[in-house]
Amino acid sequence: MSRLVPPHGSPELKPLLLEPAARKEELKRAEGLKRIPMTSRETGDLIMMGIGAFTPLDGFMGKDDWQACCDRYTLPTRKNLFWPIPITLSTTEDVAKSLRIGEEVALFDTETSTLMGTMKVTEKYSIDKEHECKEVFRTTDPEHPGVQKVMSQGPVNLAGPVKVLSESFFPEEFRGIYQTPKQARKLFDERGWSTVAALQLRNPMHNSHAYLAWIAIEVCDGVYIHQLLGKLKPGDIPADVRVRAIDALVNKYFRKERVIQGGYPMEMRYAGPREALLHAVFRQNYGCSHLIVGRDHAGVGNYYGPFDAQTIFHEVPAGALAIQPLCMDWTFYCYECGSMASMKTCPHESKAVIDENGNYKGGARLLLSGTLLRKLMSEGKPVPAEFSKPEVIAILKDYYDHLEEKVEVKLHNAATGAQ
């Protein structure tokens, strides 16, 4: 019998991906249905429902759930189940007018030209997009990538239960990394794990990431390095490059029996604290008992404080989540300690000085961040040896050397230590 935490809001996983025989029949039937185009974010959310990562959702949210999710983190249609971010599908006014309540439609991913699923339309409704952005992203700034997505979506939301027909390109393109919750739980059970710490990654692992993972292994049975495989904002390192870099680090610097790698198909929202809560929800579905929450978890720019994603867990009602946050302080390499350290352990407060050639010139704390690493690499500047392992740097250097069009990487407060 499994000793892992139960799925969120359900005694068992509820994947919505049809079995092969039923899928074949539904694909044929879907040929005669009206097609509703989906964005990459909506496609990723549909796949998450398909593989059971969004258990116990059975489709895209209606207006009551959207409103309560934004305002109170709850879903009234599911006995006020805790849920932190709306999962919605939008369309144009013309398409919405052409649909009848109760009509079934085909869900089509425009970027990959793939028929992804079907849905029975139970509701058509408009929303206050600015309200969603204020609640979920804490801003309506159009420069925020998550706000951009919401404000550019169609004016009408469609709700209803879905049947999922495809996992898109993820199983093939990321073979060996892409995993469903059922597959991850099976691996954890086979190792006899009961406590599993999830490490969320959208960047290649630098030494601070590795340090957090090593700490987690000391207090849990193992760590689940869980990479986002969906779409990122311009300037972020693509998933295939990140996978190779993380592989290189894990294979040489971790005990293999204490780490498992996985990947999931959701698109990054950059919602900071709210996204940390969503990461906790679906990591619980993957079987994780803890979520590592470090500095600026799921953040972007200067929209969130460096530890807002930790304090938001205080707002979660008791018993709403089985998974717990494993909160970590700011970590860095300390030249005086001669090792990785954190604000809780290191007494040396001076900031390390590195010259333009990457040479150490004095001071103690070298602050590490994925944003700073991308900036140094994209500008062809040397990376201090203490920042990341040489195997990782070599893979990233090759990527940037062959990158035809580079995006300027801007440093935000959480990447530099500014308040």
Bridge partners of 262, per DSSP, are 226
Q: Do the Cβ atoms of 21 and 141 come closer than 8 Å?
A: no
Q: Which of 202, 242, 269, 295 is catalytic?
A: 202
- The answer to whether residue 207 is catalytic is no
Residues near 3 by Cβ (< 8 Å), separated by ≥ 6? 189, 193, 194
CB atoms within 10 A of CB 404: 4
Q: Which residue matches tokens 């007018």? A: 97
* Among the listed residues 329, 389, 392, 399, the one whose alpha carbon sits nearest the alpha carbon of residue 365: 329
* Among the listed residues 249, 252, 261, 254, the one whose alpha carbon sits nearest the alpha carbon of residue 395: 249
- The answer to whether residue 203 is catalytic is yes
Q: Phi and psi for 346 in degrees, rounded to 5?
A: -95, 125
Stated as kind and residue range, the H or E segment containing 209 is helix 207-219
Q: Which of 203, 242, 285, 365 is catalytic?
A: 203
Q: Phi and psi for 282 in degrees, rounded to 5?
A: -80, -20
- 14: its two tokens: 């509820």
Which residue numbers are catalytic? 202-203
